[in-house]
Homo-oligomer: A and B are copies of this chain.
Amino acid sequence: MRIKEGDKRNDILLASTRIFAKVGYHKSKVASIAEEANVATGSVYVYFKNKEDILLQIFEELWKKLYNEFKSISLDTSIDSPQKIEQMTELFFEHFTADIDLAKVFVNEQTQLLNDQMIQFSRYYYKFLDLGRDIVEEGKLSGSIYSNIDVDIFRHFILGAIRNLLNQWAVEPDKFPLDKIKTNFKSLIKHGILNSK
């Protein structure tokens, strides 16, 4: 007996994340998702338009949450731009390492889906990207960040790097412990590799 309405939709989202993480979106079967969610196959179509819609909704929820968390950092006037980037990075890693299946889905499915379904993809993702831009712009203006850095390129630089490190962590958590990843990541973003001393 379900506690309240809406549970079923969420069960399906959670089950899908698990299944997508395990075998990949294209090899996942709607029937398996339904089974994993303890729901009838047909019920999936009560809550979602089709299989792709499930994936889109996973990303919708993901970016909605991330955007909202990031927004408060973005609006904080007590810290400077590089600190904001560091906090956002921290938050980003935290969010995904708390849910390894979600991390795998993000790493493996977002690029393709984005290329295919640019129009329908979560607006929150684009708003999230905008937040990033604003923060970097702010840093460039205040002089804390190199002024010659292209904001758009930097955003995709950093996202790509994070994504790949998350993937390595998800695949081999022992070889890539989170602390080490985060420390190195922050250092690389801030100072690069050159020992300019």
| A residues apposed to B, CB below 8 Å | 24, 26, 82, 85, 107-108, 111-112, 115-116, 136, 139, 143-150, 152-154, 156-165, 167-168, 171, 175-176, 180-181, 184-185, 187-196
Contact = CB atoms under 8 A, between A and B. Distances in A.
Contact of A189 (B192, B195, B196): B192
A42 to B, nearest CB: 13
Contacts of A82: 193-194
A191 B191 contact: yes
A194 B191 contact: yes
A184 B111 contact: no
Which interface residue of A107, A145, A160 has the most chain B CB atoms within 10 A? A160
A196 B145 CA distance: 8
A94 B61 CA distance: 37
B26 A149 contact: no
| Chain A contact residues, majority secondary structure | helix
A26 to B, nearest CB: 4
B156 A158 contact: no
Contact of A24 (B112, B143, B152, B181): B112
Contacts of A196: 191
B185 A157 contact: yes
B139 A193 contact: yes
B115 A184 contact: no
Nearest to A188: B157
Contacts of A188: 149, 154, 157, 189, 192
